[in-house]
Chains A and B, each alone.
Chain A
Amino acid sequence: MSETVQPMTDSSTRTGQRPMISLQGVSKTYPKQSKPAVAELSLDVPEGAIVMLIGPSGCGKTTTLKMMNRLIEPSSGRILLDGDDVTDVNGDQLRRRIGYVIQQVGLFPHLTIADNVAVVPKMLGWDKARVTRRVDELLRLVGMEPGDFRDRYPRQLSGGQQQRVGVARGLAADPPVMLMDEPFGAIDPITRERLQEEFLEVQRQVAKTICFVTHDLSEAVKLGDRIAVFGPGGRLAQYDTPDEVLTNPADEFVAEFVGSGAAVRRLSLLELSRLELEEVVISSGGAPTNRHPVLAVNDAGRPERWLHLPGSGDPPPLVVVPLSGTVYDAVDVMLDGRAPLVVVVDDDGQPRGALRWDALVGDLRTKGRLP
């Protein structure tokens, strides 16, 4: 129960190996409770990684998060931040070095958006000009025009806008570490999706080390470089890449938690650029070969329609998916267009190959594990 669970593979190149946050044998037992909320937890969060803490209610994931900035004091164990033992330093000072974003957002209703974002920089004693510059920079980063929003009050913003400000506020003093407690949990699905995209975009720019509590497996798979699955009794059941968690659950609990939707969720992890695509022939007026599908292109070289598909009569409708998309996107357009195959195009709209429905199903079944 107390072993350190190390990720077996590191498929992501954007994360380093140095642990930014390191929990060492951390436990938390609340007063008047016999069982610990978190038991002997050891967990390393690599620098620049997004680690998703997930699990059923009451499994200790939020407690774990709050112990990282010592909003909840651990009963035992050590907490290291960037190599420094912070178990006993002043908690308020520590928290000013760590970004914190919560589900209820918690924007102060009596302060303007700018003043909300500026709370930590002001506490750190930044001069006025620097604070103003930083606030504007952050509002722009989260896609809110400073001129429009700086002087508004939180109640004048929509839920999604408020959470954007919440993220900006967490980033205000440029902390190396961000802790996020279900930040998109209370937001409608469409806005949530957009915020997740924006969040990844922001992370590409700021490259923070992020711990993110969620109860939504899709969110964990979408955002996480690593997923830490918590089991009953505050036990860390598995700590690995999303792909490993979905394909090789460590135990029955994880398997059950990941559930029957795992195969479909994996589709969104597999990028088309990593697949061996089927060759397509660009029509040059010559006779159709029997081996490859034949595609007509326009003057710009973009796909126009299918001319010939081996093994079938009428050419199928043309659907297109960008190379930067995932298998999930490919499946989506195929289902939507009732097409048995999809043309994969690069950024310039040039065809790079095709993906067949049949090949897709066969491929996923035979390959078993993803690269």
Chain B
Amino acid sequence: MTAVTAGPAPAAQAPPRQRSWARQNWDLVVTPALVLGGLAAVLGWASVHQWDSVESRALQPSYLWARFTEHVWLAVASTVLVIAIALPLGILLSRPAVGRLRTGTLAFGGFMQALPPYGVIILLAFILGFGTTTAIIALVLASFLPVLTNTVVGLRHVDPALIEAARGMGMSARQTLWRVEIPLAVPVMVAGIRVALVLNVGTATLATFISAGGLGEPISSMLKLGRPEAAFVVSAIVAALALLIDWLAGLAERIVAGRTA
């Protein structure tokens, strides 16, 4: 079965269960196969297509690579920041004592989420100036809510009996949080992070409008110059990047879910 190559099985699992893990998760090879196949087709076509000098400059590997690394940096940096802020905040809001503050904060988060990222990026640029920092802040705002809500929901949905058992055995509130609640909420939290990461990969294409680079730059310039074929090639790269990152995050999600289910 080729699915064995889908990814490393969780290290904690014993050999006899490894095969069944592979069998359950064979679908994990489908996404990368399709994505890489599609990308290879587009790049293959691009390598034989006759590009003019403007297009060739935009599709130059060294130029694309620079934009690609910028793009990944924008997405990863903003996601890391979101995790650093939204996870602790979510843990705080999940505590029984905060009560009404939780509802209020989540409502405000929903409102923020409704703002279009495009508008947020431009508005922030007027306030904070153009550049990468502003782009990252905008991305953080755009992807904050899924991580926050999933953290709160994941922790709030831990079986109260487990918390009672933990407290009843003499775990302090903090020990209960770290040893029981967080380990059990991790799958839901990771799902939220996955959503944020994918959102950020997509939204990072808008960073070019405030001169923060990324793969949005060749796309928008090729479109402006009336060269949709070149824009299409770069778009295909962005799409493949988003899908592959989503796949990786999905893999991580399944591994943590398998450990704690």
Chain A contact residues, CB within 8 Å of chain B:
69, 71, 92-98, 100, 102, 104-110, 119-120, 123, 155, 169, 179
Query: Please, how many angstroms separate the alpha-carbon atoms of A108 and B165 in the complex?
Result: 9
Contact with A along B149-184 (1 / 0, CB 8 A): 000000000010110111111111001000110011
Question: Which residue of B170, B172, B175 has the most chain A CB atoms within 10 A of its CB atom?
Answer: B170
Minimal beta-carbon separation of A92 from chain B (angstroms)? 5
Is B261 a contact partner of A94 (Cβ separation < 8 A)? no
Q: With both chains docked as a complex, state the minimum distance between the C-beta of A56 and any C-beta of chain B, in angstroms.
A: 22
The chain B residue sitting closest to A97, CB to CB, is B170
Q: Which 9 A-B pairs have the closest CB atoms?
A: A106-B165, A96-B170, A104-B161, A100-B168, A95-B170, A110-B260, A106-B161, A92-B172, A110-B183
Partner of A120 from B167, B169, B179 at Cβ < 8 Å? B169
* Assembled-state Cα–Cα distance A33/B167 (Å): 25
8 A/B residue pairs, CB under 8 Å, sorted by A: A92-B171, A95-B169, A97-B170, A100-B165, A105-B165, A106-B165, A109-B184, A119-B166
Check: B259 CB closer than 8 A to any chain A CB. Answer: yes
Chain A residues contacting B161 (CB-CB under 8 Å) are 102, 104-106
Q: A71-B167, A106-B164, A107-B165 are in contact. List 17 more A-B contacts (CB 8 A).
A: A69-B168, A93-B170, A95-B167, A102-B168, A104-B159, A104-B164, A105-B161, A108-B162, A108-B165, A108-B166, A109-B261, A110-B259, A110-B260, A119-B166, A120-B169, A123-B170, A179-B168
Question: Is A71 a contact partner of B170 (Cβ separation < 8 A)?
Answer: no
- A124 CB to closest chain B CB, in angstroms? 9
Q: Are B168 and A95 in contact (CB under 8 A)?
A: yes
| In the complex, chain B residues 183-202 whose Cβ is within 8 Å of any chain A Cβ | 183-184
**Which residues of the other chain, A, contact B164 by a CB distance below 8 angstroms?**
71, 102, 104, 106
Q: Would B165 and A120 count as touching, CB distance under 8 A? A: no
- What are the residues of chain A within 8 A of B180 when measuring CB–CB? 108
CB-nearest residue of chain A to B161: A104
What residues of chain A lie closer than 8 Å to B175, measured between beta carbons? 123
Query: Interface residues of A: mostly helix, strand, loop or mixed?
Result: mixed
Query: B184–A110 contact, CB under 8 A?
Result: yes
**Count: A-B pairs, CB below 8 Å:** 64
What's the least CB distance linking B78 to chain A, in Å? 30
Give min CB distance, B258 to chain A, whole Å. Answer: 11
Interface centre among B165, B169, B180, B260 (most CB of A within 10 A): B169
Which B81-117 residues sit within 8 Å CB-CB of chain A?
none
Q: How far is the CB of B39 from chain A (nearest CB, A)?
A: 38
Q: Report which of A106, A120, A155, A179 forms a contact with B170, defined as CB distance below 8 A.
A: A120
- Closest A residue, CB atoms, query B167: A71
- The verdict on A71 contacting B261 (CB below 8 Å), with A108-B162, A110-B183 known, is no
B12 to chain A, nearest CB (A): 10
A-side contacts of B172, CB under 8 Å: 92
In the assembled complex, the CB of B186 is this many whole angstroms from the nearest CB of chain A, namely 9
Most central of B159, B161, B165, B179 by chain A CB within 10 Å: B165
Q: Is B170 in contact with A92, judged by CB distance below 8 angstroms?
A: yes
Q: How far is the CA of A57 from the CA of B166 in the complex (A)?
A: 25
Determine the distance from Cα of A97 to Cα of B165 in the docked complex, in whole angstroms.
14
Separation in Å of the A354 CB from the closest CB of chain B?
50
> Which chain A residues border B261 with CB–CB below 8 Å?
109, 155
- CB atoms of A94 and B170 under 8 A apart: yes
Q: Kindly identify, within residues 127 to 153 of chain B, every residue whose CB is under 8 Å from any CB belonging to chain A.
A: none
Chain A residues whose CB sits within 8 angstroms of the CB of B165 once the complex forms: 100, 102, 104-108
Chain A residues closer than 8 Å to B170, beta-carbon distance: 92-98, 120, 123
Please give me the residue from chain B that is nearest to A151 by CB atom.
B14
CB < 8 Å neighbour of A106 from B162, B259, B260: B162
A119–B175 CA distance with the chains assembled, in angstroms: 11
B169 to chain A, nearest CB (A): 5
Complex contacts, B184 vs chain A, CB 8 Å: 108-110
Task: Provide the residues of chain B in CB contact with A123, threshold 8 Å.
Answer: 169-171, 175
Residues of A within 8 A of B168 (CB): 69, 71, 95, 100, 102, 106, 179
B-side contacts of A98, CB under 8 Å: 170
B260 contacts which chain A residues (CB < 8 A)? 109-110
Nearest CB of chain B from residue A79's CB, rounded to whole Å = 16
A169 near B159: Cβ-Cβ < 8 Å: no
In the bound complex, residues from chain A placing their C-beta under 8 Å from that of B259 are: 110
Residues on A with C-beta less than 8 A from B167 are 71, 95
Which chain B positions have C-beta within 8 A of A69?
Answer: 168
Q: Which residues of B contact A107 (CB under 8 A)?
A: 165
Task: Report A-chain residues with C-beta under 8 Å of the C-beta of B171.
Answer: 92, 119, 123
Q: How far is the CA of A100 from the CA of B163 in the complex (A)?
A: 13
Task: List the B side residues contacting A120 at CB < 8 Å.
Answer: 169-170
Q: Are B169 and A169 in contact (CB under 8 A)?
A: yes
Nearest A residue to B163, CB-CB: A106
- Which residues does chain A contribute within 8 Å of B169, judged by CB atoms? 95-96, 100, 119-120, 123, 169
B206 to chain A, nearest CB (A): 40
Measured between beta carbons, the chain A residues less than 8 angstroms from B166 are 106, 108, 119
Tell me, rounded to whole Å, the shortest Cβ–Cβ distance linking B16 to chain A.
Answer: 13
Chain A: minimal CB distance from B79 (Å)? 25
Chain A, residue nearest B176 (CB): A92
Which residue on chain A has the smallest CB distance to residue B180?
A: A108
Give A94 to B169 CA distance when docked, in angstroms: 9
**Quick one: closest B residue to A104, CB to CB?**
B161
Complex Cα spacing A108 to B161, Å? 10
Give every chain B residue within 8 A of A108 (Cβ-Cβ). Answer: 162, 165-166, 179-180, 184
Nearest chain B CB to A311's CB is how many angstroms away? 60
Smallest Cβ distance from B89 to chain A, in angstroms? 24
Q: A268 → chain B, closest Cβ, in Å?
A: 31
Report the separation of the CA atoms of residues A107 and B171 in the bound assembly, to the nearest whole angstrom.
14
A94 proximity list for chain B (CB < 8 A): 170
A94–B161 alpha-carbon span in the complex (Å) = 20
